[in-house]
Amino acid sequence: MKFLLFTFVGVVHLFSLNSGKAIYKNDISRRTFQEIKEEIARYKDVAKAIINLAVYGKAQNRSYERLALLVDTVGPRPSGSKSLEKAIQIMYRNLQEDGLENVHLEPVKIPHWERGEESAVMLEPRVHKMAILGLGSSIGTPPEGITAEVLVVTSFEELQRRAPEARGKIVVYNQPYVNYSKTVQYRVQGAVEAAKVGALASLIRSVASFSIYSPHTGIQEYQDGVPKIPTACITVEDAEMISRMASRGNRIVIQLKMGAKNYPDADSFNTVAEIIGSKYPEQVVLVSGHLDSWDVGQGAMDDGGGAFISWEALSLIKDLGLRPKRTLRLVLWTAEEQGGIGGFQYYQLHK
């Protein structure tokens, strides 16, 4: 859930302000921090009513039950798949039946990539079948696969230092996990950097702080002018083992087979619903999550949870008969996993 967009009107003007100091917005409104605190405090009863409905009332567990029904019924929802479009149509009907306003679909063109069959087998110094997951948008291998010696590196800097050794090999990144934002660059850029030095394929260590022999998938990006090579993720355990073997001077050979294919962009939709504001309808508070998921899980938390919590926010307000001053807009993004495609096209349409 990486591309959620929230617009909080006026909140930015509160940052770095001390109590009692005047707040200026375009030299029009002059309100003290204390006055704003007092206004917020007047919503105490409304906030309590929302909490009671969600936690103790008829809406208790509702968002969980709604989410469970969708993921159990539809399952994985990868970009370009029939299951994603089925989920979008289900949500479109659900939002209409929930009595929300301005329920509609906004067309988006999205990538269509399919994994196919895939395998990785270490042939030397011993035979070992490894768990792998191809990375999103990766090309496939020839039907016979790619069989090559391995070069193990821990960073892009080490890859550059050892560039002459990489030609004709499979680069294995055993990058240490620092944090997600820093370490994920090896997933996103690993294939391009390996291809630049003549590698035939690349494998990355799962971008995770903990593993139970669990490979992770995610988007990777090719670069114009750089050869496209197959790329996949292996487990932390296998990456560490291969690294130990390399440190002993073992010759390591892997056979990689990937049936991945990229298809022409598919038609899809962002799904939108609103509660129209009573006083400032042109001002929008946006709550959102994405409906698509990768193909190897049902996307219950990435990002079914975010999508259904956002829906629930509107449902609770509607059920209590409340009408916010500003328009509350729900957007369920499509193709977030492919790089925020739905969010980007929404921005282009509404900017």
Catalytic residues: 336
Report the C-alpha gap between 314 and 50 in whole angstroms. Answer: 11
Structural tokens at position 275: 């509660």
DSSP type of residue 226: S
Is residue 59 within 8 A of residue 66, CB to CB? The reply is no
In this structure, is the dihedral angle defined by the CA atoms of residues 252, 260, 145 and 159, taken in order, positive or negative? negative
- Rounded to the nearest 5 percent, the helix, strand and coil shares of the chain are 35, 30, 35
Query: Residue 252 in contact with residue 90, Cβ under 8 Å?
Result: no
Cβ–Cβ < 8 Å for 73, 61: no
CA distance linking residue 120 with residue 137, whole number of Å = 18
Contact 216, 204 (CB under 8 A): no
Residues 6+ apart with CB under 8 A from 306: 1, 4, 288, 289, 290
Query: Strand, helix or coil at 99?
Result: coil
The dihedral through the CA atoms of 326, 328, 334, 340 has a sign that is: positive
CB-count exposure of residue 197 (10 Å: 0-12, 13-18, 19+): middle
From residue 350, alpha-carbon distances to 88, 91, 344 in Å are: 20, 22, 10
| Of 207, 223, 219, 186, nearest in space to 337 by CA | 219
Structure tokens at 208: 């995770």
Using CA atoms, how far apart are residues 11 and 7, in angstroms rounded to an integer?
A: 9
CA end-to-end distance (rounded Å), the chain: 22
